[in-house]
Structure 1
Amino acid sequence: MAKAGRQGVRASVWLEGGGRPGGRRGGQPSGLDRERITEVTVRLLDAEGLAKFSMRRLAAELNVTAMSVYWYVDTKDELLELALDAVFGELRRPDPEAAEDWRVQLRTLARENRRLLVRHPWLSQLVGTYLNIGPHSLAFSRAVQGVMRRSGLPAHRLASAIAAVFQFVYGYGTIEGHFLARAADTGLSPDEYFQDSMSAVAESPDTAPDVIAESRAIMSARGGDTVAEMLDRDFEFALDLLVAGIEAMVERG
């Protein structure tokens, strides 16, 4: 595994050949391979969350010893980095040769990224923990950069525009994913959990009535009969605002 630099940067499984499919030591009598281990890791993270994940738990799910897993990865961090990149492989990327407007492709990438964060609530924490330089992650980054270049923004503005769009998506998808996971933990549907939460806040003696009234009015005005519809409408309008902002900056030159 590559060593951390002088600034203490976390090493990456993708450096110095660590991400090769066969693992560090090649084949092993257990019959496992790195792809299978990563697949089960993702499934456990989806089912039980990052806090409950351990190499021992993974080994039990694979019906092998923990040492068998360590034949393929040196550390838990390496395995989590592999899982991080694996789910980025689920993202659909627009065809760079397609005759689609950059706005259409940017919206597609943003929606795909949001769905990924919601589908895998553990993902958002790992994105900020590792270098995120696996092949699937880099392919997504290249797609984003290619689409944004066609917007007409000057080169020195591209990074800022990408940050504006995808940090918004990261925050939105993270909060949405956590909300849905919390609702599932309570055994309620998202709509039931939302209504119970609003009622609890409204009944709290420390809550200012005017703030609750304003919040209810805003939520009513935005429309949508379900939490899913409200979330979709908010996301799409916010995305429209960001695209309009990019267009305005292009016109300014």
Structure 2
Amino acid sequence: MVRASVWLEEKARKGGRTGQPSGLDRARITSATVHLLDSDGLAKFSMRRLAGELNVTAMSVYWYVDTKDDLLELALDEAFGELRLPDATDGDGDWREQLRTLATEYRALLVRHPWLSPLAGRYLNIGPNSLAFSRVVQQVVRRAGLPAHGVTGAISAVFQFVYGYGTIEGHFAERVAAAGMTPDEYFSTAMDAVAETPETADVIRESRDLMAARGGDTVAEMLDRDFTFALDLLIAGIEAKVQRPERGAGNCASTHTQPAPANGDAPPSS
């Protein structure tokens, strides 16, 4: 059975029960949830810890939400509200640049909030911010000129890549922070270790020319260059499909119903 969304609950539409405790509201609770997830991580999050952060009892929090899942879903949509969205209705805007902007914003969001990626595929993502992001993505990709049956596939190609890239980058950032090093220090230490281990030394040696060719003096520069190049490849692929559409592809319409790249590890169109 599909779990109901907090956004489908009447309580979510009305903003809470009548006679709720003073000093609290859904917006404050959601903001505190995001802060706690950023500072402590998803694994340590609990209603009790949230109540402590707000200096209230856990029962006071339950006055506004029924479950921990409700809170996490609210926090997920709150994070999507940080995305800066281009004006996809601007007929003069270049869809390629707008798609790059959306992809770059989504990557940064995943890195900034490492807890977001495991939640993105767990919920329906029908909050206002998630839907706004999905709508703009769809509008931008539609303007590329693909046939209708190819739009959701193109969205999946781009935003599943961004989801994977941003998720791994976020994991790396967490490991670096836990080690008490800078990204460059961590990378250098790790590379030295694997280069000295017989089981991995050959692989490192064989890929040395590729590592040198990728360029970049810092980890951040290397990550940015790889991301930009990969995104350019995907955009070039969309352009190629527009110029050379497949024959007999009219029967390939997607069975998905909601083009929502916010869904993370579920297909963006699920």
The TM-score bracket by the shorter chain reads over 0.9
1:56 is displaced (CA, Å) by 0.3
> Which residues of structure 1 form unaligned runs of 5+?
1-7
Describe the shift of the 1:21–1:58 C-alpha distance in structure 2 as closer, same or farther (beyond 3 A). Answer: farther
Is residue 30–residue 64 contact of structure 1 (8 Å, CA) maintained in 2? no
Q: Distance in 1 between matches of 2:29 and 2:9?
A: 21
| Runs of 4+ with >3 A deviation | none
Equivalenced residues, count: 244
**Which residue of structure 2 lines up, in the alignment, with residue 3 of structure 1?**
none
1:203 is displaced (CA, Å) by 2.0
**Which residue of structure 1 lines up, in the alignment, with residue 109 of structure 2?**
116
**Which residue of structure 1 lines up, in the alignment, with residue 169 of structure 2?**
176
- SS of residue matched to 1:180: helix
**Which residue of structure 2 lines up, in the alignment, with residue 45 of structure 1?**
37
Q: Distance in 2 between matches of 1:227 and 1:18?
A: 46
1:193 is displaced (CA, Å) by 0.7
Which amino acid letter does the alignment assign opposite residue 232 of structure 2? D
Query: What pairs with 1:13-162 in structure 2 (closer than 5 Å)?
Result: 13-20=6-13, 22-23=15-16, 25-98=17-90, 99-162=92-155
Is residue 89–residue 139 contact of structure 2 (8 Å, CA) maintained in 1? no
Task: Compute the TM-score of the two structures, normalised by the length of structure 2.
Answer: 0.88
> Which residues of structure 2 form unaligned runs of 5+?
246-270
Residues 197-251 of structure 1: per-residue CA shift (max 9 Å, x gap): 11121222332x3211123321111000000000000000000000000000000
Which amino acid letter does the alignment assign opposite residue 145 of structure 2? G
Is residue 47–residue 68 contact of structure 2 (8 Å, CA) maintained in 1? yes
Q: Let me know the Cα RMSD of the aligned residues.
A: 1.2
Which amino acid letter does the alignment assign opposite residue 189 of structure 2? D
1:90 is displaced (CA, Å) by 0.4
Describe the shift of the 1:186–1:85 C-alpha distance in structure 2 as closer, same or farther (beyond 3 A). Answer: same
**Which residue of structure 2 lines up, in the alignment, with residue 242 of structure 1?**
234
Q: Distance in 1 between matches of 2:223 and 2:75?
A: 27
Partner residue of 1:222 out of 184, 190, 214: 214
Partner residue of 1:189 out of 153, 168, 182: 182
- Residues 13-22 or 194-203, more deviating: 13-22
Is residue 27–residue 33 contact of structure 1 (8 Å, CA) maintained in 2? no
Residues 131-184 of structure 1: per-residue CA shift (max 9 Å, x gap): 111110000000000000000000000010000000000000000011011100
Which amino acid letter does the alignment assign opposite residue 216 of structure 1? R
**Which residue of structure 1 lines up, in the alignment, with residue 194 of structure 2?**
201
